[in-house]
Amino acid sequence: MTITVFGLGFVGLTTSLGFAEYGHNVYGVEINSERLATIKGGQLPFLEPGLDEALTRHLGNHFHPIGIDKLDEAVKHSDCVYYCVGTPYGLDGQADLTYLFSALDQTLSVRPTDKYQVLVVKSTIPPSTTSQKIIPYLEEKGINVGKALGVANNPEFLREGHCWDDFIKADRIVLGVSDERSAEMLRNVYSTVNEPIHCVSLNTGEFIKYLSNTLLATLISYSNEMSLVADTIGGIDVATAFRILHEDKRWGGATMASYVYPGCGYGGYCLPKDTNALYAVANTAGFDAQILKNVISTNDQMPTQIAKKIAHVVGTNKQRIIGILGLSFKPGSDDVRDTPSAKIINQLRLLGYTNIVGYDPVANDEFEQYYANLAICYENDYEKLIDRADVLVITTAWPEFSNIRQLTEKPIVDCRYML
């Protein structure tokens, strides 16, 4: 099959290369010219193990990265058009669908009208978006959805840092569809895949993704709230308590247990915006979801709580140097979007601590670009940071920090309970 994929970010580049690996011919469209040039040059625009090798294998063979200027050619030949563009925070926590609708418009401007194609949203979109926004939008333009073209969703469950493995060894494929012809074409996209393929309604397909992300967010907020309860009562070894909790055989040794562990609050691109978006869409539909509301509010208060804890260790001398260990939102990734480290640093600055030095094994440059307003200093060497700081704060659980007690006797605030 021939497939056009809009957006070559974490999801779009992985999807494009994954489909190329399945043997499809893939055009990957990217509007960011710098990102496009990097990919065309055979480099990844972000850190993602395994994806680099897939890019080397498929670039110029089954995978063709292109700009919007070549869209016409790509869409003309495609059986399916996939949308993997961002759906960031919008007004009042709603998902911002601007990128998605602009990619849809770009598709419609070059779409061949004599060919049945399926437009498939892989971006995370709140339940009812396809049925209440996308289909009416296409119908207003005189398109007979289901007859002239199909519309579907195919949510993605990959984790950053494991994008390639999660895509290639997906545990399930979810297809939100409303007509049999689209379902058949999408089953063909995944015809070489052995995992279960579930064809469900459009709203169900969208909902499953939020069910997954909001459960993870809930587990994290639950764990963080429990750590605050424990700190308030006192005399409780929080890390030990959680590790013993994980020994319960009902967890089955699952990696899910890693979400039932306190830290700095959930961050990254997906959990914060998706939890807010599901709360907002349910609220608009007339239901005030109390668990989601409290999950969000617990997460929102974590940077303040952690900054207070750090301030307690640093003391009243605001000139002491605070070394922040870890700037990406999780180990194994250089993604700094919505990273808790930035929020904690911001809170420390509000408390008057301005002597802050950051270190991350891979994300120093990304962080500096993204959060230029925080105006902190950076250190490119782990041991130099330890030498330079008066107090050390672990904000991302990079494995290399686990030896820190052997390297220094300086005070350490282990916000990830990893030591």
Active site residues per annotation: 270
Residues in CB range of 322: below 8 A, 6 or more apart: 310, 314, 348, 353, 355, 356, 357, 389, 390, 391, 393
Binding-site member from 4, 25, 87, 347 for ligand NAD (CB under 6 A): 87
CB of 32 to ligand NAD, least distance (A): 4
Residue 187 corresponds to which tokens in the numbers above? 């089953």
Separation CA 136–CA 145 (nearest Å): 9
- Judged by CB under 6 A, the chain residues 332 through 361 that form the site for ligand NAD are none
Q: Does 366 bind ligand NAD (CB under 6 A)?
A: no
Q: Residue of minimal CB distance from ligand NAD?
A: 9
- Choice from 21, 48, 79, 160 touching ligand NAD (CB under 6 A): 160
Contacts (CB under 6 A) with ligand NAD, residues 16-45: 29-32, 35
Asked if 226 is part of the footprint of ligand NAD (rule: CB under 6 A), the reply reads no
**If binding means CB under 6 A, how many residues of this protein chain bind ligand NAD?**
27
CB nearer ligand NAD, residue 109 or residue 319: 109
Name every residue whose Cβ is closer than 8 Å to that of residue 367 and which is 6 or more positions away in sequence. Answer: 327, 328, 336, 339, 341, 342, 358, 360, 378
Q: Are 123 and 85 in contact (CB under 8 A)?
A: yes
The CA distances from residue 273 to 49, 83, 140, 196, in Å, are 25, 18, 29, 28
Per CB under 6 A, the list member of 3, 4, 12, 189 interacting with ligand NAD is: 12
Does residue number 167 form part of the binding site for ligand NAD (CB under 6 A)?
no
Cβ atoms within 10 Å, residue 140: 8
> In which residue are the tokens 């120093």 written?
364
Using rule CB under 6 A, residue 4 touches ligand NAD: no
Structure tokens at 391: 């107090």
65 binds ligand NAD (CB under 6 A): no
Among the residue ranges 95-103, 108-116, 348-356, 383-391, the one whose residues contact ligand NAD (CB under 6 A):
95-103
The Cα 173–Cα 169 span in angstroms is 10
- Of positions 270, 311, 322, 386, contacts ligand NAD by CB under 6 A: 270
Q: What is the C-alpha to C-alpha distance for residues 138 and 105, in angstroms, rounded to an integer?
A: 9
Distance CA 257, CA 249 (A): 11
- Binding ligand NAD (rule: CB under 6 A), the pick from 123, 153, 305, 341 is 123
| Residue 413 tokens, joined | 């605030």
Minimum distance between the CB of residue 270 and ligand NAD, rounded to whole angstroms?
5
* Contact pick of 18, 65, 86, 340 for ligand NAD (by CB under 6 A): 86
304 binding ligand NAD? (CB under 6 A): no
Binding stretches for ligand NAD (CB under 6 A):
6-12, 29-32, 35, 84-87, 99, 102-103, 106, 123-124, 156, 158, 160, 269-270
